[in-house]
Chains A and B, each alone.
Chain A
Amino acid sequence: ETGVTQSPTHLIKTRGQQVTLRCSSQSGHNTVSWYQQALGQGPQFIFQYYREEENGRGNFPPRFSGLQFPNYSSELNVNALELDDSALYLCASSWGGTNEKLFFGSGTQLSVL
């Protein structure tokens, strides 16, 4: 186990709703990255938070937003959900704003109906 926990594990929403996913990073880590993994695809980088600031963003629209708290846990918020947002959302924690060693949580499976 990595020590990275995500909640909830599964979620069902309807189109147009908003959702908040949560991630607790591994002890000692100050960086959290969020990835979207659609069925049959590799993870796609959404954004990264390093010491409570956004530290890089992938090709996702502004309705995907995030937050990192002083204890380095993080939230991913998605507004105006679309059917294509259905995916596994993975959180990964690391140290120092690097990609050197990402520790992934087990993910939140989001279904948008």
Chain B
Amino acid sequence: AQSVTQPDIHITVSEGASLELRCNYSYGATPYLFWYVQSPGQGLQLLLKYFSGDTLVQGIKGFEAEFKRSQSSFNLRKPSVHWSDAAEYFCAVGPYLTGGGNKLTFGTGTQLKVEL
């Protein structure tokens, strides 16, 4: 069965500091990995995705993530956090195509607080 673990429920960083959000996954085939961000009262917005190729992927808003197959990890990073980055972040794993029993599985999320 596929699963996603986000070990940190809450993280607080100071504005301007660097950020790393952890994500570990379990998936039986080549994973399709995603990071989404959710602001209060909003739906989810895709930050970045990885399927193949360069293991370091760049996303929107200055975020990047690195796929490490040996560690089954896909951690999200940002060199300098802005107050507007405060939100909940979700890692997800799944297939490219949905059909039959295929589905996207989300982690439980990491709530990011930014101190000014």
Number of A-B contacts (CB under 8 A): 74
Residues A56 and B100 in contact, CB atoms below 8 Å apart: yes
Interface membership of A65, Cβ < 8 A: no
Residues A97 and B97 in contact, CB atoms below 8 Å apart: yes
Q: How far is the CB of A44 from chain B (nearest CB, A)?
A: 7
Residues A98 and B98 in contact, CB atoms below 8 Å apart: yes
Residues B103 and A98 in contact, CB atoms below 8 Å apart: no
Instruction: Give the interface residue-count category, chain A.
Output: 20 to 34
B12-48 Cβ-contact flags toward A at 8 Å (1 or 0): 0000000000000000000010101000011111100
Q: Residues of A contacting B104 with CB < 8 Å?
A: 33, 45, 99, 102
Number of chain B residues whose Cβ lies closer than 8 Å to a Cβ of chain A: 29
Stretch from A11-19, A70-78, A104-112 forming part of the interface with B:
A104-112
**How long is the Cα–Cα vector from A60 to B5 in the complex, in angstroms?**
22
Q: Residues of A contacting B32 with CB < 8 Å?
A: 99-100
Residue of B nearest to A54 (CB): B99
Residues B49 and A101 in contact, CB atoms below 8 Å apart: yes
Interface membership of B96, Cβ < 8 A: yes
Among A42, A92, A97, A100, contact of B108 (Cβ-Cβ < 8 Å): A42
Q: Residues of B contacting A41 with CB < 8 Å?
A: 108-109
Kindly identify, within residues 38 to 53 of chain A, every residue whose CB is under 8 Å from any CB belonging to chain B: 40-45, 48, 50
Q: Residues of B contacting A100 with CB < 8 Å?
A: 32, 49, 96
Residues B45 and A43 in contact, CB atoms below 8 Å apart: no
